[in-house]
Structure 1
Amino acid sequence: MTLTLEAIIEDLHAIESELRELEKKYKVRSETFYELYTNGHIEHRKEFIRWVALVEAKHLREKQYQDLAVKNPDQLAMALSE
């Protein structure tokens, strides 16, 4: 199933909102947390597993956005001209 640019952006906004809440709670940026977690420096608690999943979902959506944007530059240009 191919997502639209609009759907990808909506997903990114939702993911980023959840990431901001975790960053506020723990006072750590998500990318820093992710690096520490994946290198074994942080315990595997339920909330941290969720945080990792959100970071990975963000990475996936960002890649999907870039792939779609490269394939459909006219769609981006049209959205910017509205």
Structure 2
Amino acid sequence: MQLADLLTDIHALEESILIFERKYGVRSETFYAAYISGEEPDDEHWVLDFSEWASVYQTWLARQAAYRNEVQRLQRGTASLSGLIRVAV
């Protein structure tokens, strides 16, 4: 995946994440830690939201890692930010 595509995905995922964080009043990393430890939602109406939130957050984490890896790969050929921007655009 290209750097620009990864960044577009990251921004779209962050928009979805913000919706969940505002709705439930909890940061995603706090929610996700509880979710993966098996904590169940208090309200059965939250189950689908929690499942989607966890999925979006997992994808966001994966895209963040892919972005970092791609930046490192591109910076091997050019150490400067300007050089990275030229390659990424």
Q: TM-score interval w.r.t. the shorter chain?
A: 0.7 to 0.9
Match for 2:56 among 47, 54, 57? 54
**Alignment-mate amino acid for residue 7 of structure 2:** I
Task: Say which one has the larger Rg.
Answer: 2
Q: How many residues align?
A: 79
Identical aligned residues as a percent: 28
Instruction: Select the structure with the greater relative contact order (CA < 8 A; seq sep ≥ 6).
Output: 2
**Alignment-mate amino acid for residue 19 of structure 1:** I
Contact (CA 8 Å) 1:8, 1:61: kept in 2 or not? yes
> What displacement does 1:42 show?
2.6
Contact (CA 8 Å) 1:69, 1:76: kept in 2 or not? no
CA shift digits 1:28-78 (9 cap, x unpaired) = 000100001111123381111100001100110011001111110139533
The Cα RMSD (Å) is 2.1
TM-score normalised to the size of structure 1?
Answer: 0.86
